[in-house]
Amino acid sequence: MKKYLTRSYTDLTKEENFLSETLFHNANGYIGVRGCLEEGVLGGADTMRGTYINGFYDIIPMKQAEMLCNFVDKKETMLNVADTMTVNCVVDGEILDLLTGRVIKHTRTLDMDKGITKREVIWEAPSGKQIEITSVRMTSFEELSLFSIEYTVKALNFEGDIRIISVHNPDVTNYSDPSDPRLAAESMRNLSVKDIYADGASSIAIAETSVSGLRVCSLVHHAFMAFGGASVKDETTDILGKQGVFTGNARLTKGGSVTLEKICLFTDSVRAREPAGRAVRILDTVLSNGLNYYYKKQEAYLTAFWENCEMEIDGDADMNSAVTFNMYELLQSAAKDSYASIAAKGLSGEGYEGHYFWDTETFILPFFTLTNPALSKMLLRYRYSTLEKARENAGLLGHQKGALFPWRTITGTECSGYFVSGSAAYHINADIAYAYVNYYITTGDLDFMREAGMEVLLETSRLWTDLGCYNENGDFVLNVVTGPDEYTCMVNNNYYTNVAAKYNLCWTLKIHRLLKEAGMLGNLDERLGITDEELASFGKAAEAMLLPYDARLGINPQDDSFLSKPVWDLTKTPKDHFPLLLHYHPLHLYRYQVCKQADTVLSYFMFENEQPRDVMMKSYEYYEKITTHDSSLSTCVFSIVASRLGMKEKAYAYFGDSAKLDLLNTHSNSMHGIHTANMGGCYMAIVNGFAGLRVTEEGISLSPSLPKDWNGYKFKFVYRDRRLKVAIDQDAVTVELLTGDDLTIRIFGKQVELTKKQEKRIQMEE
């Protein structure tokens, strides 16, 4: 089944333009290019024209009204590094502008099999001359520095002259919106062009950041060709001020066309000592191979990607397309080297300034751990590389030992100015630890746990024992923290944080024991200062961890004080007052029982064995009434837990809200970039929710259900060097071991033996 997304429109509204820039962006985990119109829009307005490099940043001031001890006063921010997408077209003196003349056709397509975006336009100039424009873009998975455009103009009803003007502009700024806390408040000039020069058909620019001292090179090479009787008259590459400008003149015959091939390369000093020299060397290789070589490599890369993770929904074509789109966007967002991670908006826009949150480990890594564990391992290794800065961060917040990972960051430095819902969200430590454990359980890679995982688990556990204390009842308590719900901050004993910390502590002991039993500890105890007394303290804290429970309601309170607050009546809140964070002061929100997103409910997905089913059910129903889902991380979680509690209709309703969030722009901010974590959550809602997949120490189990609007669904995943395929229809669940050694799994609680290339079909249960 072909995988593509198509949108057609002839009216260029602000909303459609912004959203299409996001949906049709090109990215490969290193570079991301917004899907902006090559010719731009009138006056440059109503557009977020950006190209980004993952992990490339500058440092800007963060203003604090009162600069108290160790408050964050600066932050890292992802930069718009250059505009290499601009191509202008002049037909017999008339400039292509979609806001003048007549747009007869405007179609944009994302081809997820080939890894390209295609734009097709038929435009009639005020004079009546009609041209057809076809633009094909690609960010290469084979050569991560490469972004290419093939821009073709065809004369439909005339013969005349055409001029193509292609711009390479390294003198750019970021987008800003002071009214939205999810964007930068002001647009600062963080890059200065140090040099720009022409070399034959290429222009090469070197820019440097204002504070971080990082350098970026953007190189653009042009080839101009004529077809169908058209002829090239002349072409030039010039440096005009701080811009490289290519101009190609040609004569078009009726039905004839010209094509501009634009090879754009990006390199940076995070990854290369001399970015310009590296860019030139890459150009030689790219030109030697030819663009068609990279198209073929792109398709082959994606064939392998889909082979491991392909998912298909039978009976709902729109939902099938949405789920496919979400998985493809996760691939585009994930760093493919050890210098970066996955930002909240991927590389599709400037929302959240390119920062990495807990989103990566909690919502996105599970997808890669089940489909591409090597990539998951690389992303975990990057987080490990920031451990020393996490130790420093813990010290700044007054801790005597351990590490505290930052709430939002690029290099590992805390970039959250509002510590109440940022730095105080200590649960990020347990979220990261959970990702390492999940990776180990799924892969069995004990070598990596010795290399990196054990140290991360150790330092996060040390933080919990430094943060917590024992109360008069002998309970281990964690005070003054913020859980996942950002509408309830700075509380004692947030249930999610406490149960996650308990899991963190327990698995630190388990991994240490496994390494010891395997004879793999080596000098770890000595190097990391691990003692028997400290390990015993972890076990004691975990066993005594307070997990709030209210016997009257039979639920887990979100924290010690949550149930003492009045309940916010969501039914009486005006619809235009959502999200609440943009309309009510934080202190006002903190005084009510109202949730931005799943908090305690999330814990029931991640740590379901800690509570009996009836407690989880009552808690779910309680929190459902007071959760706004203002966070994109919420509905997918409510869907998963509803599936596990047997509430099929609710599970599907919440899933639908999650799956199409960006395609339908349901949160009204997809124009600023995709919601990568929600996309990972959408995957989990199917695999861990509907299909009931659980990967634990004991192995794999499945307890599938089928949404009533579907005829069936199937998916593939990887487990301990094996690849499996699961198919669910109205009658049965079918499991096939595609590669790897024989395996025993559980389906509906019953053991099933799998041998390679042999399907096992088990009847569905009610």
Three-class DSSP category at 523: coil
CA dihedral defined by 556, 558, 560, 562, rounded to 10 degrees? -120
Enter the DSSP assignment of 126.
T
Rounded to whole angstroms, how far apart are CA atoms 122 and 105? 5
Beta bridge partner(s), residue 267:
217
In whole angstroms, give the CA distance from residue 170 to residue 216. Answer: 9
Q: Is the dihedral of CA 609, 613, 619, 621 positive or negative?
A: positive
CA 259 to mean position of chain CA atoms: 34
In DSSP notation, 617-683 reads: HHHHHHHHTTB---STTSHHHHHHHHHHTT-HHHHHHHHHHHHTTTTTTTTS-GGG---HHHHHHHH
Element holding 118 (H helix, E strand): strand 116-124
Backbone phi and psi for residue 241, each to the nearest 5 degrees, phi listed first: 65, -120
The string of DSSP letters for 704-741 reads: ----TT-SEEEEEEEETTEEEEEEEESSEEEEEEEESS
C-alpha atoms less than 13 angstroms from C-alpha of 542 in its C-beta half-sphere: 21
| Residues forming the active site | 486
Q: What is the largest CA-CA distance in the chain?
A: 90
Q: Which residue do the tokens 């997820």 mark?
A: 112
Rounded to whole angstroms, the Cα distance separating 342 from 347 reads 8
Q: Which of 227, 249, 250 is nearest to 236 (CA)?
A: 249
Helix 291-309 crosses helix 275-289 at what angle (to 10 degrees)? 90
Q: Would you report the helix, strand and coil content of the chain in percent, each value rounded to 5? A: 35, 30, 40
245: three-class secondary structure by DSSP = strand
d(CA 406, CA 408): 6
Q: What 3-state DSSP class applies to 567? A: strand
Which runs of consecutive H residues, i.e. helices, occur in 238-313?
A: 275-289, 291-309
Q: How many helices (H) and strands (E) does the chain have?
A: 20, 29
Distance between CA 67 and CA 88 in Å, rounded? 48
Cα-based torsion angle of the residue sequence 398, 400, 401, 402 in order, rounded to the nearest 10 degrees: 0
Contact 693, 735 (CB under 8 A): no
The token pair at 544 is 């005594």
Q: What is the DSSP string of 160-214?
A: EEEEEEEEEB--------TT-TTS-SS----EEEEEEEEETTEEEEEEEESSS--
